[in-house]
Structure 1
Amino acid sequence: MASFLRSRRERITPDEVGMPPGPRRRTPGLRREEVAQLAGVGVTWYTWLEQGRPINASPQVLDAVARTLRLDAAEREHLYRLADTPGPQPATDEAPALPRDMRTILDSLDLLPACLVNARSDVLSWNAAYAALFPILVNAPAAARNSIWFAFTTPRCCNPLVNLDEQAPEHVAIFRYRYSQHMGDPGWQEFVQRLCAASAEFARLWATHDVAPPRPCDKVFHYPAVGDIATRSTNLDLTALPGTRMVIYTPVDDESRANIAWLRDHPEATVPDHQH
Protein backbone atom coordinates (compact mmCIF):
# COMPACT_ATOMS: atom_id res chain seq x y z
CA MET A 1 0.00 0.00 0.00
CA ALA A 2 2.73 2.47 1.00
CA SER A 3 4.75 1.94 -2.17
CA PHE A 4 1.71 2.07 -4.46
CA LEU A 5 0.19 5.28 -3.05
CA ARG A 6 3.55 7.00 -2.81
CA SER A 7 4.30 6.19 -6.46
CA ARG A 8 0.90 7.52 -7.55
CA ARG A 9 1.18 10.84 -5.70
CA GLU A 10 4.79 11.37 -6.80
CA ARG A 11 3.73 11.42 -10.44
CA ILE A 12 1.38 14.43 -9.94
CA THR A 13 2.82 17.93 -9.63
CA PRO A 14 1.10 20.75 -7.71
CA ASP A 15 0.76 22.70 -10.96
CA GLU A 16 -1.22 19.87 -12.55
CA VAL A 17 -3.91 20.11 -9.87
CA GLY A 18 -3.97 23.90 -9.69
CA MET A 19 -2.19 24.21 -6.33
CA PRO A 20 0.59 26.71 -5.52
CA PRO A 21 4.07 25.13 -5.78
CA GLY A 22 4.94 26.08 -2.20
CA PRO A 23 8.43 25.90 -0.69
CA ARG A 24 11.20 23.64 -1.98
CA ARG A 25 10.18 19.99 -1.99
CA ARG A 26 12.32 17.11 -0.85
CA THR A 27 10.42 14.62 -3.02
CA PRO A 28 8.67 14.93 -6.40
CA GLY A 29 4.91 15.19 -6.74
CA LEU A 30 2.32 15.89 -4.07
CA ARG A 31 2.87 15.68 -0.34
CA ARG A 32 0.67 13.50 1.86
CA GLU A 33 -1.09 16.52 3.35
CA GLU A 34 -1.88 17.83 -0.15
CA VAL A 35 -3.43 14.52 -1.21
CA ALA A 36 -5.49 14.53 1.99
CA GLN A 37 -6.62 18.10 1.39
CA LEU A 38 -7.61 17.50 -2.23
CA ALA A 39 -9.49 14.32 -1.27
CA GLY A 40 -11.20 15.99 1.70
CA VAL A 41 -9.89 13.54 4.30
CA GLY A 42 -7.80 13.99 7.42
CA VAL A 43 -4.02 14.07 7.09
CA THR A 44 -3.61 11.52 9.87
CA TRP A 45 -6.19 9.24 8.27
CA TYR A 46 -4.51 9.40 4.85
CA THR A 47 -1.11 8.78 6.42
CA TRP A 48 -2.45 5.67 8.10
CA LEU A 49 -4.00 4.54 4.82
CA GLU A 50 -0.68 4.96 3.05
CA GLN A 51 1.03 3.05 5.84
CA GLY A 52 -1.41 0.17 5.41
CA ARG A 53 -2.90 0.40 8.89
CA PRO A 54 -6.27 -1.34 9.52
CA ILE A 55 -8.53 1.74 9.42
CA ASN A 56 -11.60 0.29 7.65
CA ALA A 57 -11.62 2.70 4.73
CA SER A 58 -15.06 3.28 3.24
CA PRO A 59 -15.67 3.03 -0.53
CA GLN A 60 -16.60 6.74 -0.61
CA VAL A 61 -13.27 7.77 0.91
CA LEU A 62 -11.27 5.44 -1.34
CA ASP A 63 -13.11 6.90 -4.32
CA ALA A 64 -12.05 10.39 -3.25
CA VAL A 65 -8.42 9.29 -2.93
CA ALA A 66 -8.60 7.53 -6.30
CA ARG A 67 -9.96 10.68 -7.99
CA THR A 68 -7.29 12.84 -6.42
CA LEU A 69 -4.49 10.51 -7.54
CA ARG A 70 -6.06 10.15 -11.00
CA LEU A 71 -6.14 6.37 -10.82
CA ASP A 72 -7.41 4.53 -13.85
CA ALA A 73 -9.82 1.60 -13.56
CA ALA A 74 -7.10 -1.02 -12.96
CA GLU A 75 -5.29 1.14 -10.40
CA ARG A 76 -8.57 1.89 -8.64
CA GLU A 77 -9.39 -1.80 -8.30
CA HIS A 78 -5.84 -2.43 -7.07
CA LEU A 79 -6.28 0.25 -4.38
CA TYR A 80 -9.42 -1.47 -3.12
CA ARG A 81 -7.64 -4.82 -2.93
CA LEU A 82 -4.71 -3.29 -1.04
CA ALA A 83 -7.15 -1.68 1.40
CA ASP A 84 -8.96 -5.02 1.82
CA THR A 85 -12.25 -3.30 0.96
CA PRO A 86 -15.07 -4.76 -1.17
CA GLY A 87 -14.70 -3.93 -4.85
CA PRO A 88 -15.58 -0.44 -6.07
CA GLN A 89 -18.60 0.53 -8.04
CA PRO A 90 -18.06 0.44 -11.81
CA ALA A 91 -15.57 3.13 -12.72
CA THR A 92 -16.55 5.99 -14.99
CA ASP A 93 -14.51 8.45 -16.95
CA GLU A 94 -13.59 10.93 -14.24
CA ALA A 95 -12.21 14.42 -14.72
CA PRO A 96 -8.78 15.11 -13.22
CA ALA A 97 -8.67 16.87 -9.88
CA LEU A 98 -8.62 20.67 -10.22
CA PRO A 99 -8.24 20.93 -14.01
CA ARG A 100 -5.40 23.20 -15.06
CA ASP A 101 -7.77 25.70 -16.72
CA MET A 102 -9.15 26.53 -13.27
CA ARG A 103 -5.90 28.40 -12.59
CA THR A 104 -6.50 30.53 -15.69
CA ILE A 105 -10.09 31.22 -14.68
CA LEU A 106 -9.08 32.26 -11.16
CA ASP A 107 -6.43 34.66 -12.45
CA SER A 108 -8.80 36.06 -15.08
CA LEU A 109 -11.22 37.18 -12.37
CA ASP A 110 -8.51 39.70 -11.47
CA LEU A 111 -10.07 42.05 -8.87
CA LEU A 112 -12.70 39.59 -7.66
CA PRO A 113 -11.26 37.55 -4.76
CA ALA A 114 -11.84 33.90 -5.68
CA CYS A 115 -10.69 30.46 -4.61
CA LEU A 116 -11.33 26.77 -5.15
CA VAL A 117 -12.43 24.73 -2.14
CA ASN A 118 -13.53 21.17 -1.55
CA ALA A 119 -16.74 20.16 0.22
CA ARG A 120 -15.10 20.56 3.64
CA SER A 121 -13.99 24.12 2.78
CA ASP A 122 -10.29 23.27 2.47
CA VAL A 123 -8.86 26.03 0.27
CA LEU A 124 -7.11 24.41 -2.70
CA SER A 125 -6.18 27.32 -4.96
CA TRP A 126 -6.77 31.08 -5.17
CA ASN A 127 -6.03 34.27 -7.05
CA ALA A 128 -4.05 37.37 -6.05
CA ALA A 129 -7.11 39.31 -4.88
CA TYR A 130 -8.10 36.46 -2.55
CA ALA A 131 -4.56 36.27 -1.17
CA ALA A 132 -4.66 40.01 -0.43
CA LEU A 133 -7.97 39.62 1.42
CA PHE A 134 -6.94 36.49 3.38
CA PRO A 135 -3.15 36.57 3.91
CA ILE A 136 -3.24 34.53 7.13
CA LEU A 137 -5.33 31.81 5.49
CA VAL A 138 -3.30 31.39 2.31
CA ASN A 139 -0.01 31.41 4.22
CA ALA A 140 -1.14 28.70 6.62
CA PRO A 141 0.19 25.13 6.18
CA ALA A 142 -1.83 23.19 3.59
CA ALA A 143 -3.39 20.96 6.26
CA ALA A 144 -4.71 24.03 8.13
CA ARG A 145 -5.84 26.01 5.09
CA ASN A 146 -9.59 25.81 5.69
CA SER A 147 -11.97 28.78 5.46
CA ILE A 148 -14.40 27.73 8.20
CA TRP A 149 -11.50 26.88 10.53
CA PHE A 150 -10.06 30.32 9.78
CA ALA A 151 -13.37 32.08 10.48
CA PHE A 152 -13.92 30.47 13.88
CA THR A 153 -10.38 30.16 15.26
CA THR A 154 -8.65 33.37 14.14
CA PRO A 155 -8.47 35.87 17.03
CA ARG A 156 -10.77 38.85 16.53
CA CYS A 157 -7.81 41.22 16.33
CA CYS A 158 -6.56 39.39 13.23
CA ASN A 159 -9.89 38.27 11.71
CA PRO A 160 -10.97 40.66 8.94
CA LEU A 161 -14.56 39.31 8.88
CA VAL A 162 -16.40 41.91 10.94
CA ASN A 163 -19.92 40.49 10.66
CA LEU A 164 -19.02 37.00 11.85
CA ASP A 165 -21.56 37.10 14.69
CA GLU A 166 -24.30 37.71 12.13
CA GLN A 167 -23.04 35.15 9.62
CA ALA A 168 -21.81 32.40 11.97
CA PRO A 169 -25.13 30.53 12.40
CA GLU A 170 -25.60 30.37 8.63
CA HIS A 171 -21.99 29.28 8.07
CA VAL A 172 -22.40 26.36 10.46
CA ALA A 173 -25.84 25.38 9.12
CA ILE A 174 -24.50 25.23 5.56
CA PHE A 175 -21.45 23.30 6.74
CA ARG A 176 -23.74 20.75 8.42
CA TYR A 177 -25.62 20.39 5.13
CA ARG A 178 -22.38 19.37 3.45
CA TYR A 179 -21.33 17.28 6.44
CA SER A 180 -24.56 15.23 6.15
CA GLN A 181 -23.35 14.05 2.74
CA HIS A 182 -20.14 12.71 4.29
CA MET A 183 -21.32 11.18 7.55
CA GLY A 184 -19.12 8.23 8.48
CA ASP A 185 -16.09 9.80 6.80
CA PRO A 186 -13.34 9.82 9.45
CA GLY A 187 -11.74 12.93 7.97
CA TRP A 188 -14.91 14.96 8.43
CA GLN A 189 -15.53 13.58 11.91
CA GLU A 190 -11.99 14.40 13.01
CA PHE A 191 -12.28 17.91 11.60
CA VAL A 192 -15.54 18.67 13.42
CA GLN A 193 -14.15 17.32 16.69
CA ARG A 194 -11.03 19.47 16.40
CA LEU A 195 -13.02 22.58 15.48
CA CYS A 196 -15.44 22.08 18.37
CA ALA A 197 -12.45 21.86 20.71
CA ALA A 198 -10.83 24.95 19.20
CA SER A 199 -13.93 27.18 19.05
CA ALA A 200 -16.60 27.34 21.73
CA GLU A 201 -18.79 29.36 19.36
CA PHE A 202 -18.62 26.71 16.64
CA ALA A 203 -19.32 23.99 19.21
CA ARG A 204 -22.38 25.90 20.46
CA LEU A 205 -23.78 26.38 16.96
CA TRP A 206 -22.97 22.81 15.94
CA ALA A 207 -24.98 21.56 18.91
CA THR A 208 -28.13 23.30 17.57
CA HIS A 209 -28.22 20.84 14.62
CA ASP A 210 -29.44 23.64 12.34
CA VAL A 211 -29.00 22.84 8.65
CA ALA A 212 -29.38 24.99 5.54
CA PRO A 213 -28.63 24.54 1.83
CA PRO A 214 -25.74 26.54 0.33
CA ARG A 215 -26.64 30.05 -0.75
CA PRO A 216 -24.94 33.43 -1.30
CA CYS A 217 -23.77 35.16 1.89
CA ASP A 218 -23.12 38.83 2.66
CA LYS A 219 -19.66 39.27 4.20
CA VAL A 220 -18.04 42.48 5.36
CA PHE A 221 -14.28 42.68 5.85
CA HIS A 222 -12.25 45.44 7.47
CA TYR A 223 -8.62 46.45 7.17
CA PRO A 224 -7.34 49.67 8.75
CA ALA A 225 -5.54 50.62 5.53
CA VAL A 226 -8.78 50.89 3.54
CA GLY A 227 -11.74 50.49 5.89
CA ASP A 228 -14.73 48.24 5.19
CA ILE A 229 -15.09 45.95 2.17
CA ALA A 230 -18.65 44.74 1.64
CA THR A 231 -19.00 41.62 -0.52
CA ARG A 232 -21.44 38.93 -1.51
CA SER A 233 -19.96 35.45 -1.75
CA THR A 234 -21.20 33.11 -4.46
CA ASN A 235 -20.44 29.38 -4.78
CA LEU A 236 -20.18 27.76 -8.21
CA ASP A 237 -20.01 23.96 -8.21
CA LEU A 238 -17.59 22.31 -10.64
CA THR A 239 -19.49 19.60 -12.48
CA ALA A 240 -16.19 18.09 -13.63
CA LEU A 241 -15.16 17.49 -10.03
CA PRO A 242 -18.09 16.80 -7.66
CA GLY A 243 -17.59 18.33 -4.24
CA THR A 244 -15.29 21.08 -5.48
CA ARG A 245 -16.57 24.62 -5.90
CA MET A 246 -15.34 28.07 -6.79
CA VAL A 247 -16.10 30.78 -4.23
CA ILE A 248 -16.18 34.34 -5.57
CA TYR A 249 -16.42 37.50 -3.45
CA THR A 250 -18.16 40.26 -5.42
CA PRO A 251 -17.96 43.81 -4.02
CA VAL A 252 -21.42 45.30 -3.51
CA ASP A 253 -20.42 48.95 -4.09
CA ASP A 254 -17.80 51.05 -5.85
CA GLU A 255 -15.94 51.85 -2.64
CA SER A 256 -15.50 48.17 -1.79
CA ARG A 257 -14.37 47.45 -5.35
CA ALA A 258 -11.76 50.21 -5.13
CA ASN A 259 -10.59 48.96 -1.73
CA ILE A 260 -10.08 45.44 -3.09
CA ALA A 261 -8.10 46.82 -6.02
CA TRP A 262 -5.88 48.80 -3.64
CA LEU A 263 -5.27 45.78 -1.39
CA ARG A 264 -4.42 43.63 -4.39
CA ASP A 265 -1.72 46.16 -5.33
CA HIS A 266 -0.57 46.52 -1.69
CA PRO A 267 -0.86 43.02 -0.17
CA GLU A 268 1.53 43.94 2.62
CA ALA A 269 -1.17 46.21 4.08
CA THR A 270 -3.24 43.24 5.25
CA VAL A 271 -0.45 41.31 6.98
CA PRO A 272 -0.89 41.44 10.79
CA ASP A 273 1.75 43.37 12.71
CA HIS A 274 1.86 40.73 15.45
CA GLN A 275 1.64 36.96 15.96
CA HIS A 276 -0.24 34.73 18.39
Structure 2
Amino acid sequence: MTSPTHSPEDSRRRELGAFLRSRRERLSPQAAGIAAGARRRTPGLRREEVAMIAGVGTTWYTWLEQGRDVRPSVEVLTALCEALRLDAAEKRHLFILAGRQQPERRAATPEKVDGPLLHMLQSLVMQPAYVVGRRWDVLAWNPAAAAVFGDYGLLEGDARNIVHMVFTNPHHRRLLVDWEGLARAVIASFRAESAKYVGDPDFERLIALMTRSSPEFRAWWPRRDVVRNLSGVKHIRHPSAGSMSFEHMSFSIDDGSDMRLIVYTPLAEQNSIAKLEKLLETLPAERRTA
Protein backbone atom coordinates (compact mmCIF):
# COMPACT_ATOMS: atom_id res chain seq x y z
CA MET A 1 0.00 0.00 0.00
CA THR A 2 1.52 3.30 -1.02
CA SER A 3 1.50 6.26 1.30
CA PRO A 4 -0.33 9.39 0.14
CA THR A 5 1.81 12.02 -1.51
CA HIS A 6 1.67 15.65 -0.56
CA SER A 7 2.53 18.63 -2.70
CA PRO A 8 5.06 21.22 -1.49
CA GLU A 9 2.11 23.57 -0.96
CA ASP A 10 0.39 21.01 1.30
CA SER A 11 3.58 20.55 3.28
CA ARG A 12 4.02 24.29 3.67
CA ARG A 13 0.45 24.71 4.95
CA ARG A 14 0.90 21.88 7.46
CA GLU A 15 4.14 23.42 8.68
CA LEU A 16 2.42 26.80 9.02
CA GLY A 17 -0.33 25.23 11.12
CA ALA A 18 2.17 23.37 13.29
CA PHE A 19 4.17 26.55 13.87
CA LEU A 20 1.07 28.50 14.89
CA ARG A 21 0.04 25.72 17.25
CA SER A 22 3.49 25.59 18.85
CA ARG A 23 3.49 29.36 19.46
CA ARG A 24 -0.07 29.20 20.86
CA GLU A 25 0.74 26.39 23.25
CA ARG A 26 3.80 28.13 24.69
CA LEU A 27 1.99 31.43 25.41
CA SER A 28 0.45 31.62 28.86
CA PRO A 29 -2.94 33.29 29.39
CA GLN A 30 -1.32 35.76 31.79
CA ALA A 31 1.23 36.84 29.15
CA ALA A 32 -1.64 37.40 26.71
CA GLY A 33 -3.63 39.42 29.25
CA ILE A 34 -6.26 36.71 29.86
CA ALA A 35 -7.37 35.62 33.33
CA ALA A 36 -6.35 31.99 33.87
CA GLY A 37 -9.64 31.05 35.56
CA ALA A 38 -10.42 27.39 36.18
CA ARG A 39 -8.08 24.50 35.48
CA ARG A 40 -7.17 24.37 31.78
CA ARG A 41 -6.64 21.15 29.86
CA THR A 42 -4.92 22.96 26.95
CA PRO A 43 -1.33 24.19 27.43
CA GLY A 44 -1.02 27.85 26.64
CA LEU A 45 -3.90 29.62 24.91
CA ARG A 46 -6.99 28.04 23.40
CA ARG A 47 -7.68 28.46 19.70
CA GLU A 48 -10.73 30.61 20.37
CA GLU A 49 -8.61 32.90 22.56
CA VAL A 50 -6.05 33.47 19.82
CA ALA A 51 -8.85 34.06 17.34
CA MET A 52 -10.51 36.55 19.67
CA ILE A 53 -7.28 38.53 20.29
CA ALA A 54 -6.43 38.57 16.57
CA GLY A 55 -9.96 39.48 15.53
CA VAL A 56 -10.60 36.46 13.31
CA GLY A 57 -13.16 33.66 13.36
CA THR A 58 -12.43 30.63 15.54
CA THR A 59 -13.39 28.17 12.80
CA TRP A 60 -11.17 29.94 10.26
CA TYR A 61 -8.23 29.97 12.66
CA THR A 62 -8.78 26.28 13.41
CA TRP A 63 -8.61 25.54 9.69
CA LEU A 64 -5.37 27.49 9.51
CA GLU A 65 -3.80 25.38 12.27
CA GLN A 66 -5.10 22.23 10.57
CA GLY A 67 -3.22 23.12 7.39
CA ARG A 68 -6.33 23.62 5.25
CA ASP A 69 -6.25 25.71 2.08
CA VAL A 70 -6.96 29.10 3.62
CA ARG A 71 -4.92 32.13 2.61
CA PRO A 72 -4.37 34.66 5.40
CA SER A 73 -3.83 38.25 4.34
CA VAL A 74 -0.88 40.37 5.43
CA GLU A 75 -3.16 42.19 7.87
CA VAL A 76 -4.35 38.92 9.45
CA LEU A 77 -0.80 37.58 9.72
CA THR A 78 0.27 40.81 11.41
CA ALA A 79 -2.62 40.47 13.87
CA LEU A 80 -1.63 36.86 14.62
CA CYS A 81 1.97 37.95 15.22
CA GLU A 82 0.75 40.44 17.79
CA ALA A 83 -1.68 38.00 19.39
CA LEU A 84 1.00 35.32 19.77
CA ARG A 85 3.70 37.80 20.88
CA LEU A 86 6.10 36.70 18.14
CA ASP A 87 9.60 38.16 18.00
CA ALA A 88 11.23 39.44 14.79
CA ALA A 89 12.63 36.05 13.72
CA GLU A 90 9.32 34.30 14.38
CA LYS A 91 7.38 36.94 12.44
CA ARG A 92 9.66 36.51 9.44
CA HIS A 93 9.27 32.71 9.65
CA LEU A 94 5.48 32.96 9.81
CA PHE A 95 5.28 35.21 6.75
CA ILE A 96 7.59 32.92 4.77
CA LEU A 97 5.47 29.87 5.62
CA ALA A 98 2.33 31.78 4.63
CA GLY A 99 3.87 32.78 1.30
CA ARG A 100 3.49 36.47 2.04
CA GLN A 101 5.87 39.42 1.96
CA GLN A 102 6.37 40.82 5.43
CA PRO A 103 5.73 44.57 5.63
CA GLU A 104 9.01 46.43 5.70
CA ARG A 105 9.96 47.82 9.06
CA ARG A 106 11.33 51.33 8.83
CA ALA A 107 14.19 51.86 11.19
CA ALA A 108 13.45 55.00 13.17
CA THR A 109 16.44 54.75 15.51
CA PRO A 110 19.99 55.83 14.63
CA GLU A 111 21.89 53.19 12.69
CA LYS A 112 24.81 51.53 14.45
CA VAL A 113 27.54 49.21 13.18
CA ASP A 114 28.27 46.59 15.83
CA GLY A 115 31.70 45.38 16.90
CA PRO A 116 31.87 42.12 14.89
CA LEU A 117 31.22 43.97 11.64
CA LEU A 118 33.79 46.64 12.54
CA HIS A 119 36.32 43.87 13.21
CA MET A 120 35.57 42.37 9.79
CA LEU A 121 36.17 45.75 8.15
CA GLN A 122 39.51 46.04 9.91
CA SER A 123 40.54 42.54 8.79
CA LEU A 124 39.99 43.34 5.09
CA VAL A 125 43.47 44.79 4.75
CA MET A 126 43.74 44.63 0.96
CA GLN A 127 40.08 45.20 0.18
CA PRO A 128 38.57 48.66 0.49
CA ALA A 129 35.23 48.24 2.23
CA TYR A 130 32.55 50.28 3.93
CA VAL A 131 29.10 49.86 5.44
CA VAL A 132 26.17 51.93 4.21
CA GLY A 133 22.82 52.41 5.91
CA ARG A 134 19.30 52.26 4.54
CA ARG A 135 19.73 55.72 2.91
CA TRP A 136 23.25 54.90 1.66
CA ASP A 137 24.98 56.98 4.31
CA VAL A 138 28.52 55.66 4.93
CA LEU A 139 28.47 54.42 8.54
CA ALA A 140 31.90 52.75 8.82
CA TRP A 141 34.91 52.08 6.61
CA ASN A 142 38.36 50.51 6.70
CA PRO A 143 41.80 52.06 6.05
CA ALA A 144 41.91 50.69 2.49
CA ALA A 145 38.67 52.52 1.65
CA ALA A 146 40.08 55.75 3.07
CA ALA A 147 43.28 55.28 1.05
CA VAL A 148 41.40 54.81 -2.22
CA PHE A 149 38.27 56.94 -1.91
CA GLY A 150 39.32 59.52 0.67
CA ASP A 151 38.80 60.01 4.39
CA TYR A 152 35.08 59.72 5.08
CA GLY A 153 35.77 61.10 8.55
CA LEU A 154 36.23 64.55 7.00
CA LEU A 155 32.63 64.48 5.75
CA GLU A 156 29.60 65.16 7.90
CA GLY A 157 25.85 64.71 7.57
CA ASP A 158 24.51 64.40 4.03
CA ALA A 159 28.01 64.88 2.61
CA ARG A 160 28.86 61.34 3.80
CA ASN A 161 26.11 59.86 1.62
CA ILE A 162 27.01 57.82 -1.48
CA VAL A 163 24.48 59.57 -3.75
CA HIS A 164 25.59 62.97 -2.49
CA MET A 165 29.27 62.11 -3.05
CA VAL A 166 28.73 60.77 -6.58
CA PHE A 167 26.76 63.79 -7.75
CA THR A 168 28.16 66.75 -5.79
CA ASN A 169 31.61 65.89 -4.38
CA PRO A 170 34.25 67.10 -6.90
CA HIS A 171 36.96 64.79 -5.53
CA HIS A 172 34.75 61.71 -5.74
CA ARG A 173 33.53 62.67 -9.19
CA ARG A 174 37.11 62.98 -10.50
CA LEU A 175 37.91 59.51 -9.14
CA LEU A 176 35.33 57.80 -11.34
CA VAL A 177 36.56 57.17 -14.89
CA ASP A 178 33.10 56.53 -16.34
CA TRP A 179 31.30 59.04 -14.15
CA GLU A 180 28.09 59.32 -16.18
CA GLY A 181 27.57 55.58 -16.54
CA LEU A 182 28.20 54.99 -12.86
CA ALA A 183 26.07 57.96 -11.78
CA ARG A 184 23.13 56.71 -13.85
CA ALA A 185 23.52 53.25 -12.29
CA VAL A 186 23.71 54.77 -8.81
CA ILE A 187 20.54 56.81 -9.21
CA ALA A 188 18.61 53.84 -10.68
CA SER A 189 19.79 51.47 -7.96
CA PHE A 190 19.04 54.02 -5.24
CA ARG A 191 15.50 54.46 -6.55
CA ALA A 192 14.94 50.69 -6.61
CA GLU A 193 16.22 50.16 -3.07
CA SER A 194 14.47 53.20 -1.61
CA ALA A 195 11.01 52.22 -2.89
CA LYS A 196 10.12 50.81 0.53
CA TYR A 197 10.86 54.21 2.06
CA VAL A 198 8.69 56.37 -0.21
CA GLY A 199 7.46 59.28 1.89
CA ASP A 200 10.15 58.88 4.56
CA PRO A 201 11.22 62.40 5.64
CA ASP A 202 14.96 61.60 5.60
CA PHE A 203 14.76 60.26 2.05
CA GLU A 204 12.56 63.12 0.88
CA ARG A 205 14.98 65.66 2.32
CA LEU A 206 17.98 64.01 0.61
CA ILE A 207 16.17 63.83 -2.74
CA ALA A 208 15.16 67.50 -2.47
CA LEU A 209 18.75 68.45 -1.63
CA MET A 210 20.12 66.48 -4.59
CA THR A 211 17.53 68.00 -6.92
CA ARG A 212 18.68 71.48 -5.92
CA SER A 213 22.40 70.67 -5.93
CA SER A 214 22.94 68.57 -9.06
CA PRO A 215 21.59 69.33 -12.56
CA GLU A 216 22.23 65.71 -13.60
CA PHE A 217 20.28 64.35 -10.64
CA ARG A 218 17.51 66.85 -11.36
CA ALA A 219 17.31 65.63 -14.97
CA TRP A 220 17.61 61.88 -14.35
CA TRP A 221 15.57 61.31 -11.16
CA PRO A 222 12.15 61.98 -12.81
CA ARG A 223 12.88 59.27 -15.40
CA ARG A 224 12.25 56.65 -12.70
CA ASP A 225 14.82 54.19 -14.06
CA VAL A 226 15.39 51.22 -11.73
CA VAL A 227 18.17 48.65 -11.66
CA ARG A 228 19.62 46.28 -9.09
CA ASN A 229 23.43 46.26 -9.20
CA LEU A 230 25.06 44.01 -6.61
CA SER A 231 28.41 43.58 -8.32
CA GLY A 232 30.56 44.96 -11.10
CA VAL A 233 33.93 46.49 -11.98
CA LYS A 234 34.84 50.07 -11.11
CA HIS A 235 37.71 51.94 -12.75
CA ILE A 236 39.09 54.89 -10.84
CA ARG A 237 41.67 57.58 -11.45
CA HIS A 238 43.46 58.05 -8.12
CA PRO A 239 45.18 61.44 -7.67
CA SER A 240 48.50 59.87 -6.59
CA ALA A 241 48.35 56.18 -7.60
CA GLY A 242 46.86 56.73 -11.04
CA SER A 243 44.51 54.31 -12.79
CA MET A 244 43.18 51.41 -10.71
CA SER A 245 40.50 48.76 -11.21
CA PHE A 246 38.36 47.06 -8.58
CA GLU A 247 35.71 44.38 -8.60
CA HIS A 248 32.97 45.32 -6.14
CA MET A 249 30.24 43.33 -4.41
CA SER A 250 27.36 44.34 -2.13
CA PHE A 251 26.33 42.14 0.81
CA SER A 252 23.14 42.58 2.87
CA ILE A 253 23.52 42.59 6.66
CA ASP A 254 20.88 40.08 7.75
CA ASP A 255 19.66 41.88 10.87
CA GLY A 256 16.64 43.70 9.47
CA SER A 257 18.48 47.03 9.38
CA ASP A 258 18.86 47.43 5.59
CA MET A 259 22.59 48.01 6.08
CA ARG A 260 24.96 46.73 3.40
CA LEU A 261 28.65 45.85 3.32
CA ILE A 262 30.35 47.00 0.10
CA VAL A 263 33.69 45.31 -0.65
CA TYR A 264 36.17 46.26 -3.41
CA THR A 265 38.77 43.73 -4.54
CA PRO A 266 41.75 45.12 -6.51
CA LEU A 267 42.30 43.48 -9.89
CA ALA A 268 45.60 42.56 -11.48
CA GLU A 269 45.04 44.94 -14.39
CA GLN A 270 46.64 48.37 -14.18
CA ASN A 271 48.87 47.01 -11.39
CA SER A 272 46.05 47.82 -8.95
CA ILE A 273 47.18 45.44 -6.20
CA ALA A 274 50.69 46.88 -5.96
CA LYS A 275 49.30 50.42 -6.12
CA LEU A 276 46.94 49.70 -3.23
CA GLU A 277 49.79 48.27 -1.16
CA LYS A 278 51.79 51.45 -1.72
CA LEU A 279 48.82 53.64 -0.80
CA LEU A 280 48.39 51.76 2.47
CA GLU A 281 52.08 52.16 3.29
CA THR A 282 51.86 55.93 2.90
CA LEU A 283 48.58 56.28 4.83
CA PRO A 284 48.97 58.44 7.96
CA ALA A 285 49.11 56.43 11.18
CA GLU A 286 45.90 57.91 12.56
CA ARG A 287 43.98 56.64 9.51
CA ARG A 288 45.26 53.06 9.65
CA THR A 289 42.45 51.90 11.94
CA ALA A 290 38.81 51.49 10.94
CA RMSD of aligned residues (A): 2.3
Partners of 2:250 and 2:263 within 8 A in 1: yes
In the TM superposition, structure 1's runs of 4+ consecutive aligned residues that sit over 6 Å from their partners are none
The alpha-carbon distance between structure 1 residues 187 and 60, as it changes in their structure 2 partners (threshold 3 A), is farther
Higher RCO (CA 8 Å, separation ≥ 6 residues): 1
* 2:148 alignment partner, one of 126, 130, 133: 133
Give the secondary-structure state (helix, strand or coil) at the position aligned to 1:194: helix
> For structure 2, which runs of at least 5 residues remain unmatched after alignment?
1-102, 285-290
Q: Which amino acid aligns with 1:64?
A: A
* 2:278 alignment partner, one of 242, 255, 262: 262
Partners of 2:248 and 2:268 in 1: CA distance: 14
**CA deviation profile, 1:169-189 (whole Å, cap 9, x unmatched):** 111110000121100101101
Alignment of 1:13-28 (within 5 A): none
Partners of 1:141 and 1:176 in 2: CA distance: 23
Question: 2:223 matched to which residue of 1?
Answer: 208
Q: Which amino acid aligns with 2:255?
A: A
Question: 1:199 matched to which residue of 2?
Answer: 214
Aligned sequence identity (%): 27
Question: 1:64 matched to which residue of 2?
Answer: 107
Question: 2:235 matched to which residue of 1?
Answer: 220
Give the secondary-structure state (helix, strand or coil) at the position aligned to 1:228: strand
The answer to whether structure 1 residue 165 and structure 2 residue 208 are counterparts is no
Partners of 1:173 and 1:210 within 8 A in 2: yes
Moved more, 112-121 or 225-234: 225-234
> How far is 1:222 from its partner?
1.1
Q: What TM-score, normalized to structure 2?
A: 0.57
* 2:263 alignment partner, one of 226, 243, 248: 248
Rg bigger for which structure? 2
**Length, aligned pairs only:** 181
Give the secondary-structure state (helix, strand or coil) at the position aligned to 1:65: coil
Partners of 2:163 and 2:241 in 1: CA distance: 24
Partners of 1:98 and 1:241 within 8 A in 2: no
> For structure 1, which runs of at least 5 residues remain unmatched after alignment?
1-58, 70-96, 269-276
Partners of 1:172 and 1:141 in 2: CA distance: 21
Give the secondary-structure state (helix, strand or coil) at the position aligned to 2:277: helix
**CA deviation profile, 1:193-222 (whole Å, cap 9, x unmatched):** 101111111121212110112321321111
Q: What TM-score, normalized to structure 1?
A: 0.60
Give the secondary-structure state (helix, strand or coil) at the position aligned to 1:243: coil
Q: Which amino acid aligns with 2:165?
A: F
